[in-house]
Amino acid sequence: MIKTTNLRLNLDKPDHRKAYDILKSSEMSYSNTIVAALISFSENEENRKMLLDGIRKIVREEIGTVFQNADSEQEVVSTEITNPEKTADMEILKNDDMKLSDESDFDENEEFVDDDFLEM
């Protein structure tokens, strides 16, 4: 069965002119060119929808992960607020570690080094 349709292009409109130029330069008939273009457009539209759906899914998953991590951090902060003794103990340990690292630069024999000997 063959269906007939009319296509009217207003060559004063840039898009219509471009479509007409494509039809003229095509190696296929006007009908085959239009059929191929419509099928390509339709498939690309479906692919674009699938791609966007995939992107949406990934973004949702990543945002969910961020919120889970934020919830975990919030739990740590809440624990520190509700258990100040533990937080204070951790601060003392950190300060002790800092003192040890500062003292490690100190050489107790430094006063007894003879600078004249080093210059020989």
Q: Which helix (H) or strand (E) holds 102?
A: helix 84-103
Domain membership flag for residue 40: yes
Residue 120 has pLDDT above 70, yes or no: no
Domain membership flag for residue 57: yes
pTM beyond 0.85: the answer is no
Domain membership flag for residue 116: no
Q: Which structural domain, as residue segments, surrounds residue 44? A: 14-103
- pLDDT, one tens digit per residue, over 91-115 is 666 665 555 555 555 555 556 555 5
- pLDDT, one tens digit per residue, over 49-106 is 899 999 999 999 999 888 888 777 776 666 666 665 655 666 666 665 555 555 555 5
Domain membership flag for residue 64: yes
Domain membership flag for residue 37: yes
Structural domains of the chain, count: 1
- pLDDT, one tens digit per residue, over 5-40 is 999 999 999 999 999 999 999 999 999 999 999 999
Domain membership flag for residue 9: no
Q: Measured between alpha carbons, how far is residue 118 from residues 8, 109, 110, 114 in Å? A: 99, 15, 13, 7
Domain membership flag for residue 78: yes
